[in-house]
Amino acid sequence: MPVWQVILLGLLEGLTEFIPVSSTGHVLLAGHFLGFESPGKTFEVLIQLGAILAILSVYAARLLEMVLKLPHDRRTQRFVAGVLIAFLPAAVIGAAGHHFIKSVLFATPMLICVMLIIGGVILLVVDRLPLQPVYHEAMDFPPALAFKIGLFQCLAMIPGVSRSGSTIVGAMLLGADKRSAAEFSFFLAMPTMAGAFAFDLYKNWSIIQHDDVTSIALGFVTAFISGVFVVRYLLAFVSRHGYALFGWWRIVVGGLALVALLALGHAPVSAG
């Protein structure tokens, strides 16, 4: 795989992982049109490690503070428990449906386009609803709310739906404001993405070759760099502007890709 393609896909992963536009959908569609096919779709999943480390680096001080408070602070204990509770539904469904998700859903670009468009419309509608937030701090989400957000996250097993998009929309519909919904999505990303990375590595270790490792490492680095940028500035942006921009982004990308697929007859562009 050419280095420029690896860098492009890594940048796409980092730039889109934490915004509600579906990083997996973007990477899979880009790979399709570039004619790139990784064994078992491992590249697309494993470069998420860069995005995981991006959020860990940005939140390092806060995470350390939480670790120190965890043994004795009930608010911190409840928040950590809530994140783990929210993670469980996706962990169970992801493990049970791993083969179907990777071999069927990930391999259907038309589905990704449709999900991008539908998700964009939903995001525009929810962003304009006259919602009355009850929760303004992610740390104060009760366990029951966290579990319901975790159920919304399961929708992201379908590429194009967006993990961050499903959790943010779910949280907002359940009473969270825009900023706290995005922040909880950040924290929920840590166990979810780490779990997906570890499980996929375990499942596909035997088919990863030396060249794959090099591409994954480069993709990881570029995803990390671009992911840091997004994590640093996203909360401030959505607090001021909401999610409408991302809704239109999804519709435009999904629509253009759909037109391209219909014009090409679903055939990928040759990598040569």
Q: What is the 3-state secondary structure (H, E, C) of 7-53?
A: HHHHHHHHHHCCCCCCHHHHHHHHHHHHCCCCHHHHHHHHCHHHHHH
Q: Is the pLDDT of residue 93 over 70?
A: yes
More confident residue, 204 or 124: 124
Q: Is the pLDDT of residue 61 over 80?
A: yes
Q: From CA 10, how far away is CA 12, in angstroms rounded?
A: 5
Q: Is the pLDDT of residue 271 over 70?
A: no
Q: From CA 188, how far away is CA 191, in angstroms rounded?
A: 6
Segment 76-92 shows an average pLDDT of: 96
Q: Is the pLDDT of residue 142 over 90?
A: yes
Segment 25-32 shows an average pLDDT of: 90
Segment 87-116 shows an average pLDDT of: 92
DSSP for 176-191, please give it: B-HHHHHHHHHHHHHH
Confidence of residue 4 (pLDDT cuts 50, 70, 90): confident
Segment 83-106 shows an average pLDDT of: 92
Percent of the chain whose predicted confidence (pLDDT) is above 70: 94
More confident residue, 48 or 141: 141
Q: From CA 48, how far away is CA 88, in angstroms rounded?
A: 19
- Closest residue by Cα to residue 166 from 189, 134, 144: 189
Look at phi and psi of residue 9 and say left if phi exceeds 0, alpha if psi is from -120 to 50, else beta.
alpha
- Closest residue by Cα to residue 153 from 204, 92, 198: 92
Confidence of residue 265 (pLDDT cuts 50, 70, 90): low
In this prediction, residue 206 carries a pLDDT of 72
The answer for residues whose C-beta is within 8 angstroms of residue 157's C-beta and 6 or more apart is 90, 93, 94, 97, 101, 105
In this prediction, residue 135 carries a pLDDT of 96
In this prediction, residue 26 carries a pLDDT of 92
pTM of the model: 0.86
The answer for residues whose C-beta is within 8 angstroms of residue 219's C-beta and 6 or more apart is 6, 7, 9, 10, 13, 43, 46, 47, 50
Displacement of CA 202 from its chain's centroid (Å)? 20
Segment 59-65 shows an average pLDDT of: 92
Segment 72-99 shows an average pLDDT of: 95
Q: Is the pLDDT of residue 270 over 70?
A: no
Q: From CA 229, how far away is CA 256, in angstroms rounded?
A: 26
